[in-house]
A and B are shown apart, each in its own frame.
Chain A
């Protein structure tokens, strides 16, 4: 059962991930990215991420991608007329070949089962991945990074507002 679910979610994520980068229209890319994030949320459930999956939906699929769509629509981007321009062909070919080589290397390296974790996945602690566990860790071991992220968000908010403000001459 778990294998079926993994196969389903992984296929959807892989296919829509690929479709993100080869669309002419930016809106379609954004929509495919939303689908990818949804499929990844499903994979997170399989990985006992009982809190992380819904955070992925709320933050990534529900907020970040909406922001992307807003900007795409505000800038009114039409079909990209010239997707693979002549002078870029060499760079694109090089990028594709090197990526394929890297993918082959990674598949060979990661596919082997010499990783100790792969042989016998460790038994999970009680309450692994639940909200309570994540919350407790955030407020004890990871308190400082947690407070720093609030500062990061504040800085990002102020920065975005300043950058996107209309300049009145």
Chain B
């Protein structure tokens, strides 16, 4: 349990000599960051009359806004045997994530204000990352009746989504988007035609054919995108497209943005690095939603993230218990743990595709902040002091013991990844620090 608000406001931190990267303000220089009253007080020169409670030597480290992850399943309520708020909030700050959005596919789904308030309350009491619940778009995610979006917004929901639940009735989708547009609510949708995806567990291609896995064709995504774009034109609602997975889908989003549609788009971190071939001999760690697609799709996703068609990357953190992965591929529960891999895998992408570090960090800080309409995601004076300090040069091995998340399920187990978070600060309060590095 961290200190309470009053104490926090008195805390003054001086983070010295780090490489401060603030993508929104185009800052990338070695400087000292001053934090007071839970906010950024100054960068470079100390405010007048400054005296710090704590000085942190950040020499050799990157100092950037805390990461913002637009999809992290905390598994509460309903799935506490897979993970708990405690374990996953620890994982978040261990991964440098200071704000996260959680999808409504809990049990029960986040479709009424009481559930959202409870989640917000539980998260606040842990005093770690900020939690932004995504409300259910329809009651029980059943795709039939609208939720009380106004009440849910007051309770703390920042957008509305069906998560992975199908919305088969396009009429309901239209009404939901019209209603959301009326009040300025945002709608997050993962584009997938439920009929084409039915029963599918792998990308429709050579790998699924060889392994005899029921397939989901890319058209499942493109048909849904076409529907969504048509309804966005009709309603004017802002739609955030979640977990795009195909080359054709990326091209459609690019065209839609060029045509001025109010849409934003994300990709899951796994899909930047993996493709269907990585399933190998039925590796259930590679059972993901959407399915890992072909090499051509992966290349298009990387290029789309680079050119801005895809605004940001998220972890799509989904902790799954070991038993649920120790099953035949088709019976294994989909998903991978990701909060602690978001930064390393973003760095890995940036290094390979020669994307400058500030550009890469924008995709996990300032850009998701814009989609969330969060005041964080930058280090301007007065910004919430949500800060991540990491060592970009370190390689570490992904192993169960190295992960704070209760979910140890990741296709990257055993692999080395770059970038280790050394300290995470939320609201000016140190919520995570690696004990060894400050001695």
A binds B: no
Query: Which B residues form the contact surface with A (CB < 8 A)?
Result: none
